[in-house]
A and B are shown apart, each in its own frame.
Chain A
């Protein structure tokens, strides 16, 4: 895979990307601000949400067992997967048992995380992505660039071109309505004819054994009810104790994600079709996936397991807003991704993610479950330093600076010397357009010429 810097450079060089990201994230930012202002007691709701998740994460075994018992009682079958591969194997196996040739899939970040699209393709199973954005990136053969809007990196014009090229009965007019209609025609027959429906879950409700999904297109309902089998894949941290807890989280989720008070569709599924039901799948399977989550809990990342995947942190991140999601090179982008990716895929090769952050704290300010993202990112930086993954130049620089900073008298001398050197290199005038060793700075901005004498020297000489 390309390096973070290469991907970043490509992203920064793409003017369309900036337009597309700004349209979506900018709107989301403004709408969230309005929604939060209109929500009396938002702060208390965040505190409570964080407490609910912390309680569940600390008692995960209890709640998972309760969920399994209740889901089973409702007629579903619960499977456990320790790794991504195990999870995919279980899903593929179930599809084969159902004799599935096509599956209708409703958007799920966990599905992306475990590589399910790839596993289904390998097994020769045709996958119909029923979420509009997922459908777009399936046509483009790309990966999601945002956890709420997987295709946020594409402009309307780019989407139109894709539909014209791939749809059997493409739109004639280039309006949003006509494009949506074209997608609807394309997808609906696929949804209705699929053998298996696969979804993720926004919440797993322990005391009823229900799963909850949230969509704005209704595609989950349409793709999960008609097929003979419904398979759910969900991370074990998605659990909440009760329906009341789920609804509390839902109030925060939609407002944080899109600024809407509620999502268009919120559905709770408990078990398959019962005797006398008019519709619903004959079988419901729930695959509970660990894939590093219990390890995160044990290794100081328990707070990250609070995440309800709302995307607010990335929408408000100055870095994400410049480089978009693909630059992060993994399933989860933005601040939450920079914490999660090293936990899921290992730190080596991903150490750039934690340092590509200004630690400005905005992500933590907007996170509905108060995850201390900057602190967790700093934690990865420390581990990266301990494991020697930081560049030698940085290590040497910090070591040299620290050596001097420990010796105040020498430090004074060194500052004096550095100032003389910088002033010499800066040349005439107050601003330097170019400074040796400071190319990273002066490539883009001017550097103010430093003072002739430091504060400490002048103060020491009696100036006040």
Chain B
């Protein structure tokens, strides 16, 4: 997979860009604080943030299930909801990759929608890459005395080249030390619908991942995709591990002192 380290559209290094936050269906329902963390970090990085009302889900479940017609329909609706802003920012590598890589593919033969898909793709960013690469922002005011380990979620890593950005950002959090995770680039076995279609295989994969995370001895597990985090955190908790899981952007927003995934507020 080509790793895109920089976005094709750097034209809009706007002073105070208007950013549309795409919340993702999983963040919306399961863990709203990731959305609020995104609002806070983007504001701190000098963005004017709006949350377009018409957004629902990017269509990834349909796309990955082979239901191309539905994926195309939801892609068009999502494009219509998100275009017209300087940038679109998403707290998920896989949803960002859906818009940036897959919308242009599935709308390629549509003379009306193909240019709109391309234009949106060029303005769409995974949030950690955006904060680091486009805004050059650092969480200078944040401190968290803890050790953490980082899992590179597959879509962000391989489709968008998100690798160094989260580490650079986390490196600026005072008191936080990062421990390397064995097999940090290998899939956790979530895979969207994969984990419900093939639960036994998925479980075998995440079991190994959980063991590797435990072996780091870190307090915290961090990643950039809520789906993967729920999978890994759910396995860690079932196995009785004390490791607590957060979305990276929560840490960057100074919310690392709050409840981790699966902890009651």
Q: Which residues of A contact B (CB under 8 A)?
A: 5, 8-9, 12, 318-319, 322-323, 355-362, 364-365, 372, 374, 378, 380-386, 390, 394-395, 398-399, 401-402, 404-406, 408, 411, 415, 418-419, 429-431, 433, 438-441, 443-451, 453-456, 458-460, 463-464
Collect the chain B residues with CB atoms within 8 Å of residue A355's CB.
65-66, 193-194, 197-198
Q: Chain B nearest CB: distance from A376 CB in Å?
A: 13
Query: Quick one: which of A405, A441, A464 contacts B74, CB cutoff 8 A?
Result: A405
Cβ A454 vs Cβ B28 within 8 A? yes
Collect the chain A residues with CB atoms within 8 Å of residue B70's CB.
398-399, 402
Cβ A318 vs Cβ B28 within 8 A? no
Collect the chain A residues with CB atoms within 8 Å of residue B259's CB.
430
Q: Which residues of B contact A (CB under 8 A)?
A: 1, 23, 25, 27-36, 39, 51, 53-57, 59, 61-68, 70, 73-74, 77, 81, 154-155, 158-159, 185-187, 189-207, 230-231, 233-235, 237-238, 259, 261-264
Q: A359-B64, A364-B1, A385-B67 are in contact. Are A318 and B35 (CB under 8 A)?
A: no
Which residue on B lies nearest to A402, using beta carbons? B70
Question: Mind listing 12 A-B residue pairs with CB under 8 Å?
Answer: A355-B194, A358-B192, A359-B192, A361-B1, A361-B154, A381-B66, A405-B25, A408-B81, A430-B262, A448-B262, A458-B36, A463-B36
Collect the chain B residues with CB atoms within 8 Å of residue A319's CB.
201, 205
Cβ A446 vs Cβ B205 within 8 A? no
Collect the chain A residues with CB atoms within 8 Å of residue B185's CB.
362
Cβ A458 vs Cβ B32 within 8 A? yes
Cβ A356 vs Cβ B32 within 8 A? no
Q: Chain A nearest CB: distance from B144 CB in Å?
A: 20
Cβ A445 vs Cβ B29 within 8 A? no
* Top 8 closest pairs, chain A to chain B, by CB: A358-B191, A381-B66, A445-B234, A385-B66, A360-B187, A455-B32, A440-B199, A444-B203
Q: How far is the CA of A404 from the CA of B55 in the complex (A)?
A: 12
Further contacts, 20 of them, CB under 8 A, given A361-B159, A454-B32: A12-B201, A318-B186, A319-B201, A358-B191, A358-B192, A382-B66, A386-B66, A405-B57, A408-B81, A430-B259, A444-B202, A445-B203, A445-B231, A448-B262, A449-B264, A450-B29, A450-B30, A451-B32, A455-B32, A456-B51
Query: Quick one: which of B27, B193, B233 contacts A455, CB cutoff 8 A?
Result: B27
Collect the chain B residues with CB atoms within 8 Å of residue A356's CB.
194, 197-198, 201
Collect the chain B residues with CB atoms within 8 Å of residue A439's CB.
199
Query: Quick one: which of A384, A399, A441 contacts B199, CB cutoff 8 A?
Result: A441
Which residue on A lies nearest to B51, using beta carbons? A459
Cβ B198 vs Cβ A8 within 8 A? yes
Query: Quick one: which of B73, B187, B207, B262 contacts A402, CB cutoff 8 A?
Result: B73
Q: How far is the CA of A406 from the CA of B59 in the complex (A)?
A: 10
